Structure 1
Amino acid sequence: MKHLESITIHQFRGLRDVKLEHLGQVNLLVGINNSGKTSVLEALSIYCHPLDIRVWLSTARQREQENRRSRTSILDSLRWLFTHYSLANQAQYIKETILISSQGDFPIKTMKASYKEMEEIWLSEKNNKTNLAASQDEEIIDSDEPMLEVDELPGIRKGIELNVEIELNTNQASLFPELDKMAETFQLWENDILYKLHGKHNPSLLTAIVTPSSHRSDIGQFRLLSEARFENFKCDVLELLQQIDQNISDIEILLSPESIGSRFNIYIQHEKLGLAPVSTFGDGIRRLLHIALKLASVKGGVLLIDELESTIHTEALQSSFNWLVKWCKKMDVQLFATTHSLEAVDGLLEVTESASDLVLYRLEPKETKTLVIRHDWNRLKRLREEQGQEVR
C-alpha cells in the first residue's frame, strides 16, 4: 500500500472538494494559472505534519521566499491558508475550517483545523523583554527608572488561536494505542518570536518541498549534503548533475584558503573550471542538486516539487526525470509535482512504465468546487502519442 492511496482536500485556500484518487508513484498536477496546483502541494505538506506548528508557519510563507522586504505578516499569511468568502452585499468575510482526508498507509485519516481571533494588553518592547527575562528566571538589574515611560504605555496586540484535530485510521491504531483522535492548540501573537514554537511531530510523514527558488538558499544545504554522504548517496547525486554537465566529478563542503572569514561553502569539482563554488553554476545545476538532496532526506516519505521543469533545459528533462523516477522507486518516495510544460509530461511518460508509476491530474476551478480530471499512464500515453492531445 502506498503512503497515500487517495487524498481529498475538502477546504484549503481556494480549493474545494479536490479529490485525487488512485495516486501513483509520480503524481503530476497540471492546470491553468491560479487553478490551485501549488495549493495542493501546500495542503499535502501541512497534512503530513498536522501537529507541527513550524510546518504551518513555513508553508504559510512559502510563496514569499524571495520577497523579504514587503512580506505579509506571518499571522495574516497563516489566516489565508483558510478559505475565505464574502457575504453578499456585506463587507464581511466568512472563514471556513481547513479539512483534508486521505486513504493509504499514513495513519492520519482526517485533519481539521480552525482559528479564532484574540486580543490582549501588551507592554512596549522594552518592558516586554524585561517581563520575558523575569519569566525565564534571568537576572534583572535594578533600576530607579519607572517601569512605564511615556512611550512605553500598554497597548493592544492581536493574535490567533489555531486549533488542529486529527482522526487516526483504525487499522493504524497499534501505532497509537488507545487513541483514535489527537488535538493541539497554538496561540500566536504579533511581535512574538515564532521560530521558538514547537509542536508534536507524530504522527507525521517525512516530507520535503522544492519551490522554483528554494535552490538559491544555502539554508540546510550543508546538512542535506552531509546526510546524503552518510547514506552513500553522494555518487548518485553526482550522476544526476552529470545529466547537465559531464565535466562534474565531485562535490564537497570546503573552506576556501583564500576566504577572509570562516564560512564554508559547497564546491563542485569540474574538469575545466577546477574547484568552484556551487553558487557560480547555473540554476539548472543548483536546482537538480537541491532536488537530489531533498529526495535523499525523505526516504520512505513524500517529495513535493513546484514547477518540476523549472531551470532544466528541455534536452536534459528526460535523463533527469529518468534518474528522479528511479530513485523515487528505490527510496519508496511518493512524488507530487506541478508543471506547465508538455515537454515535462512527455518526458515523464518516456521514463515510466505503468499506471502505478505515473498519474496526471488536471485541475479545473469551477464556481463551487475544483473539478479534477484524472489520466493514468495508459490513457495519457494514448492521448499524447496517438492523438497529440493537449492535456494541460
Structure 2
Amino acid sequence: MSNLESITIHQFRGLRDLELKDLGRINLLVGINNSGKTSVLEALSIYCHPLDISVWLSTARQREQDIRARTPLIDALRWLFTNHTSFAVEPYKPIILISSTGLFPVKKLIASYEEMEGIRLSEGNNTRNISGTNDEEIGNDNEQEIETEDSPGVRKGIDLKIEILKDDHLLTLVGESPTFVEHFSLWEDEPLYRLSGTREPSLNTATVTPSSHRSAIGQFRLLSEARFQNFKSDVVKLLQQMDTNISDIEILLSPESISSQFNIYIQHEKLGLAPISTFGDGIRRLLHIALKLASVKGGILLIDELESTIHTEALQSSFQWLVKWCTEMDVQLFATTHSLEAVDALLEVTESDSDLVLYRLEPKEEKTRVVRHDGHRLRRLREELGQEVRW
C-alpha cells in the first residue's frame, strides 16, 4: 500500500471534484493549458504538510519565482482558495477541501479564511515584509520590505482556519480526537516569514518547478544529504546521461575568487573543474531533480513539466534512472508534461504496467473530469493504435 492510494481535490484554486484513483509509482498529469495540472501539484504539497504554514506561504508564491513585481503574499494565499461559486461546498465562502486514502494518516483537509481589520499602531517606521518563507523555492531579493506610513491606521489581514481529520484507528486507542484545528492570524504589515506551524502530521515531499534549478540556494544542503546517503555516485551517473565527460561533483571555494562564497563544481574531462553555472539548463535541472529525489526517501516528488530542458534524445536514459531510483527509494512521483515524447519514454523504461498511470485532466463547467490510463492501456493506445493521449 502506498502513502497515497487515491486523492480527491474537491475544491482548490479552479479545481472541482478532481479524483485521482488507484495511484501508481509514477503518476503523469496531462491536459490542455490551464486544465489544472500545476494546481494538482500545489494541492498535494499543501495536503502533505497541512498544518505547516510555511508550506502554505511558499506554495502560494511558487508560480512567481521569476517575477520581480510579485503579488502581495496574503493575496497570493487567497488565490489558493475556491471563491464565489454555486458549485462550492459552502457557496460564497472561500474554502479548500481535499481528501485521500492510503498510508498517510491525514484523510481530509478543510481550510477557510475570514477577512480581518485592526488598528495599525505607530512604532517608528513600520515595515511590511512581502517575501516568502522558503528561499530555495521562491527566491529572494533585496527589495523585501516596504515602509508604511508612520501613523495609526487600519490594517487588514485574514484569519486562516485549517482543520484536518486523521485516521482514527490508533487515535481511538489512546483516547485522542481524530480532528485537529489550527488558526493563523496573518496581517499585511507583519513579517509572515516569522510564522511557524505544526510540522506534524506531514509526508516528506519536494517540488521541482521549471525554474527552481536556476537557484543555488539550498543546493549545498541537498548535495550534502545525497553524499551522506551514499547517493552522490548515482547522481553523477544521471548527469553522465547528458554529458559522458562528467566524472564528479564537489562543493568548493575557488582560490581565485575574491569572495568567500562556495560553489558547486563539476569535474569535467575536457573543461576541468567548472562551476555548475557554466553548464546548460539540462545538466542543472537533472542535478536538481536528483538531489530533490535523494531528500524525499519514502515520500513524494512533485515535478512540474517533467521534460523541461532535457533533450529529446536524453529522455529515455534520464527517465530510466528516475524510475529506477523512485522504486529504490520508495518515492511516489507526480509529474506534469506536455510532451508526447516524454510519455513514450516513460512507457519504454517502466517495467511494470502497474507502476505507470496517466491522468488526463478535462475541465468542465461543474467539475474537473479525469480520464485514467494505466500502463497496460496506455501502452496499447500508444504502441498499437498510435493514439494521442494528452488531450
TM-score by length of 2: 0.91
Counterpart pick for 1:371 among 356, 369, 379: 369
Unaligned runs of 5+ in 2: 128-148
Q: Distance in 1 between matches of 2:276 and 2:372?
A: 39
Say if 1:24 and 1:355, in contact at 8 Å, map to a contact too.
no
Q: Which residues in structure 2 correspond to 1:48-67 (within 5 Å)?
A: 48-67=48-67
Aligned to 1:39, the other structure's residue is in SS state: helix
Counterpart pick for 1:183 among 181, 184, 200: 181
C-alpha displacement at 1:29, in angstroms? 0.1
> Residues 176, 107 of structure 1: CA spacing in aligned structure 2 closer, same or farther, 3 A cutoff?
farther
Matched, 1:24 2:24: yes
Q: How many residues matched?
A: 365
C-alpha displacement at 1:124, in angstroms? 4.1
1:83 corresponds to which letter in structure 2?
Answer: T
> Residues 252, 177 of structure 1: CA spacing in aligned structure 2 closer, same or farther, 3 A cutoff?
farther
Say if 1:107 and 1:172, in contact at 8 Å, map to a contact too.
no
Unaligned runs of 5+ in 1: 88-92, 130-150
Q: Aligned residues: percent identity?
A: 75
Match of residue 137 from structure 1: none
Which structure has the bigger radius of gyration? 1
> Residues 86, 169 of structure 1: CA spacing in aligned structure 2 closer, same or farther, 3 A cutoff?
closer
1:72 corresponds to which letter in structure 2?
Answer: T
Say if 2:356 and 2:375, in contact at 8 Å, map to a contact too.
yes
CA offsets, 1:289-308, max 9 Å, x none?
A: 00000000000000000000
Match of residue 385 from structure 1: 383
Match of residue 143 from structure 2: none
Match of residue 112 from structure 2: 114
2:11 corresponds to which letter in structure 1?
Answer: Q
C-alpha displacement at 1:123, in angstroms? 2.6
Say if 2:126 and 2:150, in contact at 8 Å, map to a contact too.
no
Match of residue 105 from structure 1: 103
Say if 2:6 and 2:101, in contact at 8 Å, map to a contact too.
yes
Q: Relative to structure 2, which stretch is displaced further, 190-199 or 169-178?
A: 169-178
Q: Distance in 1 between matches of 2:17 and 2:306?
A: 25
Q: Distance in 2 between matches of 1:339 and 1:219?
A: 26
> Residues 176, 13 of structure 1: CA spacing in aligned structure 2 closer, same or farther, 3 A cutoff?
farther
> Residues 125, 309 of structure 1: CA spacing in aligned structure 2 closer, same or farther, 3 A cutoff?
farther
Aligned to 1:152, the other structure's residue is in SS state: coil
Question: RMSD value over aligned CA atoms?
Answer: 1.6
CA offsets, 1:1-28, max 9 Å, x none?
A: 1010000000000000000000000000
Match of residue 300 from structure 1: 298
Match of residue 358 from structure 1: 356
Q: Distance in 2 between matches of 1:82 and 1:176?
A: 34
Q: Distance in 2 between matches of 1:384 and 1:48?
A: 33
> Residues 75, 387 of structure 1: CA spacing in aligned structure 2 closer, same or farther, 3 A cutoff?
same
Say if 1:17 and 1:370, in contact at 8 Å, map to a contact too.
yes
Match of residue 133 from structure 2: none
Q: Which residues in structure 2 correspond to 1:1-392 (within 5 Å)?
A: 1-67=1-67, 69-85=68-84, 94-124=92-122, 126=124, 128=126, 152-173=150-171, 178-392=176-390
C-alpha displacement at 1:65, in angstroms? 0.4
Q: Relative to structure 2, which stretch is displaced further, 162-171 or 75-84?
A: 162-171
Q: Relative to structure 2, which stretch is displaced further, 151-160 or 299-308?
A: 151-160
1:43 corresponds to which letter in structure 2?
Answer: A
Q: Distance in 1 between matches of 2:118 and 2:355?
A: 52
C-alpha displacement at 1:170, in angstroms? 2.5
Q: Distance in 2 between matches of 1:204 and 1:123?
A: 37
